[in-house]
Structure 1
Amino acid sequence: MKRVLVTGASGFLGRALLPVLADRGFEVHGVARSAQPSTAGMKWLAADLLTEAGRVQVLSASRPTHLVHLAWEARPGRYRDDPVNRLWAEASIDLLARARACDTSRILGIGSCLEYGPQNGLCDELASECRPTTLYGQAKLSAAEAYIAAGAAWGRVFFPFGPREPEARLIPSLIRHLRAGQNFDCSHGRQLRDFVYVEDLAQMIAAVLDSDLTRAVNLGSGEPRSLRSVVEHVADRLRARHLVRFGAIDATGVDAEPIIATDIRRLREVAAGVPMIGFEAGAGRALAWWIDRLSGRA
């Protein structure tokens, strides 16, 4: 029996990943800070992974053959420079060592495109120099180096979106403003980003976990889009482009970087045959979910 331990399982990405892993035949053990009701094929563990006791507890209770480490500080508006990033790096490296000690055969840590820092083109796992400018990116990179040195895989996530995404992020915030008939102020929107639908991202993570791929692997769509085109796509679906005010605010820091997008040749080695939903269909699903939620139906 393949038993997978998923940290951060109650989060935006974790919730999408769990059923994908179950469909691949894994017995799934999810970790969250608070207790969750277990179901057939899915067991929940409550633990604080920033404590040694919490890490020991979840590994002892699940005895995993596989580990996907998602848990980290990710709240919009604070995660990039929160000092807790250093604690998460230390906890992640300790979790790695303890998982290896209890014979976990396959380990996948989940990182971020912010590990790369400013680039002039697509991020390449083997060729791009990592020069992160945020504490979040620096802490993720320090954990990545430990995981890669130990022979594990490390997935660098780009810009996920979809149902249940934190409300303060771009697409949910845009939908909420336009549905309320409010102006939406944003930057010029020429920045290129790699948006990946959350269910597609879950499929990518599962494919990497179920493979022999090691070292860093980029997790994205491989299709750079301007922020302006993303905003206009959603606004047009709501017939509210007139409420969007491009150039009303200045982009600063990471948000001002001209391009954060990925080369996905390594990912294609293991995920080429996996069906993907894609941006347009994913945006439609996300919009429908948020409309239901704002109408009180979700």
Structure 2
Amino acid sequence: MKILLTGATGFIGSRVAEQLARGGHEVYPWPRPWRFPSGHFDACIHLAWYVEHGKYLHSPLNRQCLQDSLALAHLLIQHDCRRLIAAGTCFETIGHPSLYAECKRTLFHELQKLPLELAWMRFFYLYGPGESPRRLVPQVITSLLRGESVPLTLGEQVRDFLHVADVAGAVCAIAQSKLTGALDIGSGEPVTVRELAETIGRIIGRTDLLVFGARPYPPDEPMRIVANNERLLRTGWRPRFTLEEGLRDTISWWQCQRLQEAASA
């Protein structure tokens, strides 16, 4: 397959590009501003969006991403590339009151009106090597590796965590399938934030540094978000990593980062 890929250098996109190329597909990174490259393409995987941690949920840049995405869709139609695999969010499923969720919902609604074979991927909670250090899993790992205490909420939130390599594998499986409509991209396995943090602490050997209840729950914090991945499983996709295996892989990556930083100091 010849596949256009937006967000090709991102956390998910870089893995998608690697896995597709390894599978013998021709992958063409498509940066903004959109200018359609010459030739015919079988599909477009659209992952590009503004996702800076701590800012993206309520940023006005979400509206620009919405407009850019609609412009991309019309370019695909003009050039007879009718298969679009686009990134949504699990926040759509719970009515999250953020501009990010609102723009993703609007995009899905508008894309459904167009003559496209649309597969809409709702990403749940992902983690893995190279994730922004300000996000939950890297924050817990790096703090424990430094021997610092980790202030947390009570950790009763139920989540669905999936290693980024498995997320990328799911994207590739969908791109090569004929599935359309909304698909949840997750493990389907509920786990509490407390269980997640305790697993990290146990692997590193510093559960004593986890301080549960030191932080209040954020406003509008959803208490349960778990994927229903039945449609995704129809592609034949299965996760390679259990949660513990994925966390061990991620911890190992962060340990290597610390060693490299120490060697270059």
The two structures share one fold, judged by TM-score above 0.5: yes
- Provide Cα deviations, 1:208-234, integer angstroms capped at 9, x if missing partner: 111111111110000010000000000
Q: With structure 2 as the length reference, what TM-score do the two structures score?
A: 0.93
CA distance in 2, matches of 1:28, 1:18: 6
* Contact map agreement 2:119 2:183 (CA 8 A) in 1: yes
Deviation, structure 1 residue 251: 1.1
The correspondence for 1:154, drawn from 120, 138, 153, is 120
Match of 1:80 among 47, 54, 57: 57
Return the letter of the residue paired with 2:66. Answer: A
| 1:15 aligned onto 2:14 | yes
**One of 169, 185, 202 as aligned partner of 2:135:** 169
Distance in structure 2 (CA, Å) of the matches to 1:30 and 1:74:
19
For residues 268 and 229 of structure 1, the distance between their equivalents in structure 2, rounded to whole angstroms, comes to 25
Q: 1:62 to 1:226 in 2, by over 3 A?
A: farther
Distance (whole Å) between structure 1 residues aligned to residue 112 and residue 211 of structure 2 = 43
Percent sequence identity is 30
Q: Please, which of 100, 107, 110 is the counterpart of residue 136 of structure 1?
A: 100
Offset at residue 279 of structure 1 (A): 1.5
Code of the aligned partner of 2:163: Y
| Equivalent pair of 1:147/1:154 in contact (CA under 8 Å) | no
1:275 deviates by: 5.5
Compare 160-169 and 60-69 and name the one that shifted more: 60-69
The corresponding residue for 2:233 is 268
1:203 and 1:140 map into 2 onto residues whose CA distance is 22
Question: Aligned AA for 2:259?
Answer: S
Following the alignment from structure 1 to structure 2, what is the Cα–Cα distance between the partners of residues 261 and 116? 10
Alpha-carbon separation, structure 2, partners of 1:270 and 1:291 = 35
Indicate the residue corresponding to 2:67 in structure 1.
90
> Aligned equivalents of 1:169 and 1:7: distance in 2?
23
In structure 2, the partner of 1:277 is 241
User: Which whole-Å CA distance do the structure 1 matches of 2:16 and 2:242 have between them?
Assistant: 16
CA distance in 1, matches of 2:240, 2:169: 8
Q: Deviations over 1:148-198 (max 9, x none)?
A: 333411100001100001110011111111111111001000100000110
| Deviation at residue 73 of structure 1 after TM alignment | 0.7
Aligned length: 260
Whether the aligned pair in 2 keeps the contact of 1:156 and 1:216 (CA below 8 Å) is: yes
5+ long unaligned stretches in structure 2: none
Matched, 1:185 2:151: yes
* Counterpart check, 1:201 vs 2:167: yes
Segments ≥4 residues shifted beyond 4 Å: none
Alpha carbons of 1:231 and 1:275: their partners in 2 closer, same or farther (altered >3 Å)? closer
> Tell me, which stretches of 5 or more residues in structure 1 are unaligned?
32-46, 118-130
1:64 aligns with 2:63: no
Deviations 1:2-21 (A, max 9, x none): 21111111111111111211
- Check 1:209–1:231 CA distance in 2 against 1; reply closer, same or farther (3 A cut): same
Amino acid in structure 2 at the alignment position of 1:161: Y
C-alpha deviation, 1:62, in angstroms: 6.2
Residue-by-residue CA offset, 1:124-157 (whole Å, 9 max, x unaligned)? xxxxxxx231111111111111223334111000
Residue 240 (str. 1) matches residue 200 (str. 2): no
For the 8 Å contact 2:187–2:239, the answer to whether it is kept is no
Kindly state the Cα deviation for residue 63 of structure 1 after the two structures are TM-superposed: 4.3
What CA deviation, in whole Å up to 9, does each residue of 1:101-132 have, x standing for no partner? 10113210011111122xxxxxxxxxxxxx23
In 2, Cα distance between equivalents of 1:155 and 1:136: 15
Identify the residue that residue 3 of structure 1 maps to in structure 2. 2
Does 1:257 find its partner at 2:234? no
Which of residues 190, 196, 203 is equivalent to 1:230? 196
Partner of 1:125: none
Letter in 1 for 2:78: A
